[in-house]
Structure 1
Amino acid sequence: MIKIANLVKRFGGTPVLDGIDLTIERGEIIVVIGPSGTGKSTLLRCLNFLERPDAGQLSLGDLEIDVTRASRRTSWRHAVARPSSSRTMRCSPTRRRWRTSPKA
């Protein structure tokens, strides 16, 4: 089970994630949807520490981490490794858009 408690991320004082609570049971599949700019990618980036959350707690089974402390982040990253995505997926928080047609 992955549990997210009170996850907070701000950019320049603007709250993007404000007290997110979420529990994902083993084998459960979830979908995060919403308009552009509502924090979907930021949530994923915070979950694998590509962005440092400002507050909150994360747990995966017995592994618990306070997101404001540096300890155990590497263990968390290995436990919650994000699978590589195909070129057509748009939800990858690290994906850049590549030109697929030759220049005219």
Structure 2
Amino acid sequence: MDYESNARLFKAFCDENRLRIIELLKDGEKCACTLQDELTIVQSTLSHHMKILIESKVVESRKDKKWTYYSLSDSGSELAKNTLSEILTKSENYSSFCICED
């Protein structure tokens, strides 16, 4: 298991603003100015959150002239779902085990 990649992936979900951004992007692609206005945050704060979301591969961006547009990444969303499922699924060898002495 690649703990570093998994931590980077799930860091995307560990902030209220990033969760709000993901929620906004569920309805489709949004430009940075729309996200900034909806969240009532300054541009530098939005940039910080978008950097984390893009590094996690949950969000992707594209440039069109001077504007940046963001959308949910289908492959990143699938990766997040599959990774969480893999982490939370008990192994076939699962058993209760304790090394403590009575």
Name the TM-score class by shorter chain. Answer: under 0.3
TM-score, length basis structure 2: 0.28
TM-score, structure 1 length as denominator?
0.27
